[in-house]
Chains A and B, each alone.
Chain A
Amino acid sequence: MERIAFRAMGCQMLAVVDSAGPAVRAILAEVPGWFATWEQCLSRFRPDSELSRINHRARSGWITVSPTLWAALETALEAARASDGLVTPTVLAALERAGYDWDFAVLDREPEPRRGSAARGGRSDTLQPSADGATLSSDALNGTATSVRPPARARSVRRRRGSERATWCHGVDNSVPARRSADTVRDWRAIRLDPGRRRIALPAGAGLDLGGSAKGWAADRAARKLAAYGPALVDAGGDIAVTGPRADGSPWPVGVADPLHPGAELDLLLLSAGGVATSGRDLRRWHHGGVEQHHLIDPRTGQPATTDLLAATIVGPDVQEAEMAAKVVMLLGRDGGLHWLAARPQLAGLLVTAAGRVIRTATLAPYRWREPANAGVLP
């Protein structure tokens, strides 16, 4: 089994091929380059990316796009269709209004006294429960993304005192009160497509953010390319695609992180096909105008979703559907999310509420690894 780990798209990536040989090692060595190319095309944080150029040209008529951007946009719009618009790429304005106009990878590189492990080049996942029962993170990363603006503008980590349970989070504080702005999320159906000429036309104010679907798209695409060399798994920041069972016929064991207990796992899933993805508000939180924000925008309100869930993990027929479903469940909350999942038996879910309760759908049972009964007990 050969593997390569690297950082891209502001996340930790992993590609594994259950085979050996120089050809496998050679193709794995190319994977970071694939992701770098895709990120250069799809990142909204890079002013010279194709996506940024298109966003600047909204309302200017038809724009011919690259095959990569076309494919990623198709995935994003399919997610919008499948979720009735809950997961939409037209949330750029709402994200920026909420203060998420910086790449976390850039913020994590900024020196900060409490982040000694980051300065040493290591990881520091110091999840600490906050007063409301949620968890926040100081996530030290070695990101590779470039910055749109000088890092000095970012106040990378903002500490909120008041009790011994100090709260840490990524921070961009523009000191501008957030406004209730449902109108900042344009209807995804207003985007016009010309498949014959591979052209798109964005209406005014419909800036695109592909962060809600690009990682799943990239994981799926990379896994498909690696499948020619053997059974493959690609993990794009927690969005995981597998091409089939491992070489010996066994499934891929994939852990589900416990958002409340760093280093612990809630489950071990066994995947022989499809994908799994997790969405959550345990990470990627910041303060804006004195209000805690997170990156899951509810297009119905135009603001970070108010949800009673802390994280949702979904197993699906493919990683793109799993990624979309995880976000939908987060936006709908526990009851709404379970109802939505019940109508889709091809999906299996593990939900963690803000109070720490873990809820599993019945469809998750076939994927869960269980301790054999009486294992290791001698008569």
Chain B
Amino acid sequence: MARRTKTASSSIQGLKAVITTAAVAATIGGWAALAHHRTPASSATATPTSRAAINPAPLPTLVPLMLPTANTAVAPEREAALPALRDVQPQPPIVERPAPVTITRSSR
């Protein structure tokens, strides 16, 4: 009777060890699997949206005096990343001296 009790107790201890080992292994394996798992795109876009809703960007307080026209150019934001360009002054239109139709002078 005592032998049977001692044997049963030993089996229970072994089962506990197996369960513990399996739990530890599953936990570590799950972490490893999660570490190699790619983040879905939807979750990345959701974050700023929710952030903007909570803390919206400040309203602009400076208004440009002159709106861009055909004669004005707005420098692109990425221009700083481009190679530096030569500073070129615009050339005035070349106008030839018109030939006089006639000449004023004292009467002759």
In the assembled complex, which residues on chain A have CB atoms less than 8 Å from the CB atom of B94? Answer: 372, 375-376
Q: Is A154 an interface residue (CB 8 A)?
A: no
Q: Which of B88, B91, B97, B98 contacts A374 (CB 8 A)?
A: B91
Q: Could you tell me the distance between the alpha carbons of A137 and B107 in the complex, rounded to whole angstroms?
A: 12
Q: Which of A238, A250, A269, A379 contacts B107 (CB 8 A)?
A: A238
In the assembled complex, which residues on chain B have CB atoms less than 8 Å from the CB atom of A268? Answer: 97-98, 100
Least distance between B101 CB and chain A CB atoms (Å) = 5
Q: Could you tell me the distance between the alpha carbons of A333 and B105 in the complex, rounded to whole angstroms?
A: 18
Please count how many residues in chain A sit with their CB below 8 Å of the partner chain's CB atoms: 46
Q: Are B104 and A375 in contact (CB under 8 A)?
A: no
Instruction: Count A-B pairs with CB separation below 8 Å.
Output: 94
In the assembled complex, which residues on chain B have CB atoms less than 8 Å from the CB atom of A313? Answer: 104
Q: Is B43 an interface residue (CB 8 A)?
A: no
Q: Which of A53-61, A280-288, A339-347 contacts B (4 or more CB under 8 A)?
A: A280-288
Q: Which of A259, A265, A279, A280 contacts B100 (CB 8 A)?
A: A265
> Interface on chain B toward A: helix, strand, loop, or mixed SS?
loop
Q: Are A253 and B98 in contact (CB under 8 A)?
A: yes
Q: Could you tell me the distance between the alpha carbons of A162 and B102 in the complex, rounded to whole angstroms?
A: 37
Least distance between B97 CB and chain A CB atoms (Å) = 7
Q: Could you tell me the distance between the alpha carbons of A254 and B103 in the complex, rounded to whole angstroms?
A: 5
Q: Could you tell me the distance between the alpha carbons of A372 and B93 in the complex, rounded to whole angstroms?
A: 8
Q: Are A278 and B104 in contact (CB under 8 A)?
A: yes
Q: Which of B97, B100, B102, B106 contacts A311 (CB 8 A)?
A: B106
Q: Which of A10, A16, A240, A281 contacts B104 (CB 8 A)?
A: A240
Q: Could you tell me the distance between the alpha carbons of A372 and B92 in the complex, rounded to whole angstroms?
A: 7
Least distance between B44 CB and chain A CB atoms (Å) = 49
Q: Is A324 an interface residue (CB 8 A)?
A: no
Q: Which of B88, B93, B95, B108 contacts A139 (CB 8 A)?
A: B108
Q: Could you tell me the distance between the alpha carbons of A257 and B100 in the complex, rounded to whole angstroms?
A: 11
Q: Could you tell me the distance between the alpha carbons of A372 and B91 in the complex, rounded to whole angstroms?
A: 10
Q: Nearest CB to that of B103 among chain A residues?
A: A255
Partner-A contacts on B (CB < 8 A): 88-89, 91-95, 97-108
Q: List 5 A-B contacts (CB under 8 A).
A: A237-B107, A278-B105, A369-B97, A372-B95, A379-B88
Partner-B contacts on A (CB < 8 A): 10-12, 14, 16, 125, 137, 139, 141, 215, 233, 235, 237-240, 250, 252-257, 259, 265, 268-269, 276-284, 311, 313, 369, 371-376, 379
Q: Rank and list the top 4 A-B pairs by shortest CB-CB distance, nearest first.
A: A280-B106, A257-B105, A255-B100, A255-B103
